[in-house]
Structure 1
Amino acid sequence: MTGRHERAGTSKGLDRRAFLQRGTATAALLAAAKAALPAGAFASGAGPEVKGTRLGYIALTDAAPLIIAKEKGFYAKHGVPDMEIAKQASWGATRDNMALGTKANGIDGGHILRPKTHLYTTGKVMQNGQPLPMYTLINLNEDGQAISVSNEYRDLPVGQDASPLKAAFERKKAQGKELTAAMTFPGGTHDLWIRYWLAAGGIDPDNEIKVITVPPPQMVANMKVGTMDCFCVGEPWNEQLVNQNIGYSALTTGELWFRHPEKILGMRADWVDANPKATQAIMMAVMEAQIWCDRLDNKQELAEIVGRRQWFNVPVNDINGRLRGDINYGRGRTVTGSNLRMKFWGEAGEVSYPWKSLDAWFVTENIRWGRFEPGLDIRALVDRTNRADLWREAAKTLGIANAPATDSRGVETFFDGMRFDPANPADYLRALKIKRAQV
């Protein structure tokens, strides 16, 4: 099955009507789910093995489904009222707490960068290379990140095309100054987005600029003091950068790859295997929260909830615009009602569904940059970590009709014309000009 791909655009009012129609449809779905499950998923049988666990999150808008599931009572509805949603200081802290698990006062899962499932499971980013088997359960969102650039380069025509930065970077380097691009975790989504963008513009991210790791909430402060030239991060930090007139957004990541996957609900495999009913309860709660988050008439309340001190501690105006597709890029450029907003659900859960073909791209890109060996069996790793079967089971219980039933969304196309066929990742690697992998 090939998923629907809308054309990325930024014109005023673009696809607002379709979005409103989807909001009506998802409202009906929520009502149907409530009627079908008036006392939760386990009203007529044995309940979950446990009443809850601890999930981690970073202060990024795409963590919203985990937070909304708590705030709106969806966890309690499905029999896991004791869920704790715990803020993490960085993606590195998330990794370390995931390795501990709740038995050692860590976390058993949470809002994580999608490639982390593969990086944890193989031990590539774990202490002493110790593998931590993980499962991808739900794709939390599509789009909604951005690549932002320092005002030092505000007069350059930098957008989807990063090439105007190449000569500027060379001049700065000739003056003995260091060039820095920041992302949030090695091998994670933001690392891959900024590397793709730079490389597409002819800038080698390993040899022409230093790529560093900075926690999302620290991005704006670091650019303010001049320690980085560009960064890639999720919202609300790009919007906050623009609102403080420190830099500008060159592009949103939806303009790099429209309808790209981003964060996931990932959990330790041992916890899921030991608690299958509780896992289903958590998944259904989060899926209902995704439906709620996707409705246009909930966006303001969503921003108000996650902006609270106990969650993000961020002004609502730094959050709500891009949630609706109203993007202030900086430098006087704004668009309203675009289809580049963050997406949480879609028409029948196609946003939430963890397509295996998309995991294949993330593994392939990490092969590109040398994090995995070229001979890695991509399909085997994806099959071991992706639990689309559990998603389909949860969707069936929720009464979701027309949910995805296959593993592939088909061939993906990027802004520079590159195409990724999940059936032939080696062809994609061979076509890339800048890479570390020898294929």
Structure 2
Amino acid sequence: MPTTHITAGFLPLLDSVLLVLAREKGFAEAQGLDLHLVRETSWANIRDRAAIGHFDIAQMLAPMPLAASLGLTPIATPMITPVVLGLGNNAITVSADLWKAMADHGAPGDLAAGPAGAALAKVVAASSHKLRFGVVHQTSSHNYELRYWLSASGIMPDRDIEIVVLPPPLLPDALGTGGIDGYCVGEPWNSIGVATKGAHIATVKASIWQSSPDKVIGMRATWASENPELVSAMVRAIYLAGTWCTDPANHAEAARIMAAPAYLNADEAIVGRALTGMLDIGGGMVRHVSDYFIPHAGAANFPWKSHALWYYSQMVRWGEVSASAAHAEIAAACFRSDLYRTALAPLDVAVPVADNKTDGTRNTTGTIAAQNGSLTMGPDLFFDGQVFDPDALDAYIASQRPTA
């Protein structure tokens, strides 16, 4: 079968796994794609090289297409995503010293976001210096979920705690040298911090906001409109890689592929932790988080426009963009659920009927309406009990304003 060459940028993170598997397991080739993967060192490089056309597509932070389309990036370029690379995968990891202080103030070590945040608030209140946390990029899910967790725990970001930006692979070393006290990042860099720097995982994304997105396949809007068949082929390759990766029988092979020098260049056993959800969180404590990383189940690859709007709400909350109907429309348009449905139509698989959903109301699994059947969705609670209804966007933004 003839193939078309496309170049994709990625960062050494576990949630590049579907992109990697699309190449390594032949899913891309079966869809007519000669997928060439280029490993990058930072999200800023991914952002800029995608904007100027070095990459046809790229693994991106979920808010990155929004930031580019809203003019928040150095090279403002309309970007879209037609497919999500999974749910979860992030955690908040702290130094051994900070964890001891949190434990002394009641942190139970069960990864629950509420008690961990309450303990951190007590540490911050008692500290004689401002703690510093690292995130991987300014307009990242990591930055927004860290800020959300801190704020809901009574800690004001920027005022009570400093937040700095570092590429994911540099975060464990920065923690080990005392340059930062904690960080929010995807795997394997939390587990590597635990294994090599004596760090402790304090809480996880799956506890802060259940079934929430983190990485996507992003691309220039013009490239997508000029190459609709390539976009559809890529979405199908990612979807099929997801179905393969979801099978527990394939986790060991997926970990072995991802651990290779070309990808994560990390210990295979450490890489496998997030795939199984069996996490060594530090100090000899092991916890099983069944929904730590969801590569495919629960419509994990569907680009919900409401998820784009939640990220937009956080951009407004933290002063990165002004609230307006026009900005909300631009943000929602970046998540192309229509392209996802078009791409998967030949496979006759179930896809959501709606473009939006309310998050924060489902505490158990349940089904939603779908084309070609129904879909089972996981719980979607925020740890502080809040509800995000995209039909009440303005009211939600007003309620989320930071307080001095």
Normalising by structure 1, we get a TM-score of: 0.81
Counterpart position of 1:29: none
Counterpart position of 1:135: 80
Pairing 1:239-254 to 2, within 5 Å after superposition: 239-254=191-206
Counterpart position of 1:24: none
Q: Is contact 1:360–1:378 with CA below 8 Å preserved after alignment? A: no
Structure 1, gaps ≥5 residues long: 1-38, 40-46
Counterpart position of 2:89: 144
Matched, 1:343 2:294: yes
The percentage of counterpart residues that share the same residue type is 28
Aligned-residue offset at 1:199: 0.8
Select which of 93, 111, 114 maps to 2:62.
114
Secondary structure at the aligned position of 2:19 is classed as helix
Matched, 1:199 2:151: yes
Q: Is contact 1:368–1:435 with CA below 8 Å preserved after alignment? A: no
In structure 1, how many angstroms separate the alpha carbons of the residues matched to 2:359 and 2:208? 15
Pairing 1:222-241 to 2, within 5 Å after superposition: 222-241=174-193
Pairing 1:23-422 to 2, within 5 Å after superposition: 51-81=4-34, 83-101=35-53, 106-125=54-73, 127=74, 130-155=75-100, 156=102, 157-158=106-107, 159-161=112-114, 162-172=117-127, 174=128, 177-336=129-288, 338-346=289-297, 350-400=299-349, 402-412=350-360, 413-422=381-390
Q: Is contact 2:232–2:344 with CA below 8 Å preserved after alignment? A: no
State the 4+ residue runs in structure 1 displaced beyond 6 angstroms. Answer: none
- 1:182-206 deviations in Å (ceiling 9; x for gaps): 1011021000111111111111112
Q: Which amino acid aligns with 1:343?
A: I
Secondary structure at the aligned position of 2:138 is classed as coil
Q: Is contact 2:22–2:241 with CA below 8 Å preserved after alignment? A: yes
Assess, with a 3 A threshold, how the Cα gap between structure 1 residues 286 and 306 changes in structure 2: closer, same or farther.
Answer: same
Secondary structure at the aligned position of 1:319 is classed as helix
Q: Is contact 2:173–2:197 with CA below 8 Å preserved after alignment? A: no
Counterpart position of 2:371: none
Aligned-residue offset at 1:311: 1.0
Q: Which amino acid aligns with 2:294?
A: K
In structure 2, how many angstroms separate the alpha carbons of the residues matched to 1:411 and 1:64? 26
Aligned-residue offset at 1:108: 2.0
Larger Rg: 1
Assess, with a 3 A threshold, how the Cα gap between structure 1 residues 383 and 224 changes in structure 2: closer, same or farther.
Answer: closer
Q: Is contact 2:84–2:301 with CA below 8 Å preserved after alignment? A: yes
Aligned-residue offset at 1:56: 0.7
Counterpart position of 2:392: 424
Q: Is contact 1:245–1:330 with CA below 8 Å preserved after alignment? A: no
Aligned-residue offset at 1:379: 4.1
Q: Which amino acid aligns with 2:393?
A: P
Assess, with a 3 A threshold, how the Cα gap between structure 1 residues 222 and 79 changes in structure 2: closer, same or farther.
Answer: same
Q: Report the more deviating stretch, 213-222 or 155-164.
A: 155-164
Q: Which amino acid aligns with 2:63?
A: P
Structure 2, gaps ≥5 residues long: 361-380
Normalising by structure 2, we get a TM-score of: 0.88
Aligned-residue offset at 1:433: 6.2
Q: Is contact 1:364–1:378 with CA below 8 Å preserved after alignment? A: no
In structure 1, how many angstroms separate the alpha carbons of the residues matched to 2:396 and 2:322? 15
Aligned-residue offset at 1:110: 1.0
Secondary structure at the aligned position of 1:393 is classed as helix
Q: Is contact 2:132–2:180 with CA below 8 Å preserved after alignment? A: yes
- 1:6-57 deviations in Å (ceiling 9; x for gaps): xxxxxxxxxxxxxxxxxxxxxxxxxxxxxxxxx6xxxxxxx8xx71221111
Aligned-residue offset at 1:141: 0.5
Q: Report the more deviating stretch, 202-211 or 242-251.
A: 242-251
Aligned-residue offset at 1:376: 4.8
Using CA pairs below 8 Å that are at least 6 residues apart, which structure has the higher relative contact order? 1
Aligned-residue offset at 1:432: 3.1
